[in-house]
Structure 1
Amino acid sequence: TMLPMCEFVLDIHSGGKTLEFLPFAAYHELDDKSQQQACEAATLAFAAPYYLSLVEIDAAGMYDTQAESMGKVFVSTELGGGGTSSPYTAGAARRGVHNFLVHAGILDAKPIQPGTASIKLDMQQDNAYVFSQHNGLLEPCVSLGDRVQKGDIIARVYTTERTGNKPVEYLAESEGIILGRHFPSLIKIGDFMNIIARVVQQ
Structure 2
Amino acid sequence: IADQGLHRLLSHLGVIDEKAVAPAPTRLMRVEGPEHYLYAPVRGLFEPAFSLGDLVCANDFAGRIHFPEEPERLPRDVYFSGTGLVVCRRVPTLVAPGDCLAHLASDTD
Q: If the TM-score is normalised by the length of the shorter chain, which range does it land in? A: 0.7 to 0.9
Q: How far apart, CA to CA, are the structure 1 residues paired with 2:67 and 2:106? A: 31
Q: Report the alpha carbon displacement of residue 119 of structure 1 after superposing the two structures with TM.
A: 1.1
**Structure (1/2) with the larger helix percentage:** 1
Q: Mark the structure with the bigger radius of gyration.
A: 2
Aligned residue for 2:25, secondary structure, equals: coil
Is 1:189 equivalent to 2:83 in the alignment? no
Q: Report the alpha carbon displacement of residue 91 of structure 1 after superposing the two structures with TM.
A: 3.9
Matching residue of 2:106: 198
TM-score, with length taken from structure 1: 0.43
Unpaired runs of at least 5, structure 2 = 10-19
Match of 2:57 among 149, 168, 188: 149
Query: How many residue pairs get matched?
Result: 97
Matching residue of 1:130: 38
CA RMSD of aligned residues (A): 2.3
Q: How far apart, CA to CA, are the structure 2 residues paired with 1:149 and 1:114? A: 32
Contact 2:44–2:67 (CA under 8 A) maintained in structure 1? yes
Percent identity over the alignment is 23
Q: How far apart, CA to CA, are the structure 2 residues paired with 1:133 and 1:114? A: 44
Deviations 1:23-64 (A, max 9, x none): xxxxxxxxxxxxxxxxxxxxxxxxxxxxxxxxxxxxxxxxxx
Unpaired runs of at least 5, structure 1 = 1-87, 99-111
Q: Report the alpha carbon displacement of residue 113 of structure 1 after superposing the two structures with TM.
A: 8.2
Deviations 1:55-114 (A, max 9, x none): xxxxxxxxxxxxxxxxxxxxxxxxxxxxxxxxx4x447x67xx9xxxxxxxxxxxxx985
Is 1:165 equivalent to 2:51 in the alignment? no
* 1:114 to 1:130, Cα distance in 2 relative to 1, 3 A: farther
Q: How far apart, CA to CA, are the structure 2 residues paired with 1:188 and 1:199? A: 30
Q: Give the aligned residue type for 1:176.
A: G
Aligned residue for 1:127, secondary structure, equals: helix
Greater relative CO (CA pairs within 8 A, separation 6+): 2
Aligned residue for 2:28, secondary structure, equals: strand
